[in-house]
Amino acid sequence: ETGVTQTPRHLVMGMTNKKSLKCEQHLGHNAMYWYKQSAKKPLELMFVYNFKEQTENNSVPSRFSPECPNSSHLFLHLHTLQPEDSALYLCASSQDYTVSNQPQHFGDGTRLSIL
């Protein structure tokens, strides 16, 4: 149990569907992150929120839309995805994005498959 919970664990969707990934952390952290892990590729940072404000968008296509309603919850809204978007999407949290030596705690991810 990492304190970071992601739902759903698995998701299969068509290219025209709209779905959302959810992340919730119970660690009292103020920073939350979305990462993408494709097969045989390193983890790639997608978005960062610190105290509910988006601080990083790592050139992510607009078909991925993050939402952070409070410091404990993070969503990733998906719309008109492409087959190459199939990957493991990981959420993480840390105490404060600006305190760089604080470890990040990861959830177990959502395995997304685009048909």
Partner 1 sequence: LAKTTQPISMDSYEGQEVNITCSHNNIATNDYITWYQQFPSQGPRFIIQGYKTKVTNEVASLFIPADRKSSTLSLPRVSLSDTAVYYCLRVGSSNTGKLIFGQGTTLQVKP
Residue 83 corresponds to which tokens in the numbers above?
């087959």
Cis geometry, peptide bond prior to residue 83 (ω within 30 degrees of 0)? no
Nearest distance from C-beta of residue 90 to partner 1, angstroms: 5
Select from 12-20, 43-51, 60-68, 75-83 the region that touches partner 1 (CB under 8 A): 43-51
Nearest distance from C-beta of residue 18 to partner 1, angstroms: 25
Position 41, amino acid: K
108 contributes a contact to partner 1 by CB under 8 A: yes
24 contributes a contact to partner 1 by CB under 8 A: no
Position 35, amino acid: Y
Residue 36 or residue 81: which is nearer to partner 1 going by CB? 36
100 contributes a contact to partner 1 by CB under 8 A: yes
47 contributes a contact to partner 1 by CB under 8 A: no
- Residues near partner 1 (CB under 8 A) are 2, 4, 31, 42-45, 48, 56, 88, 90-92, 94, 97-109, 111
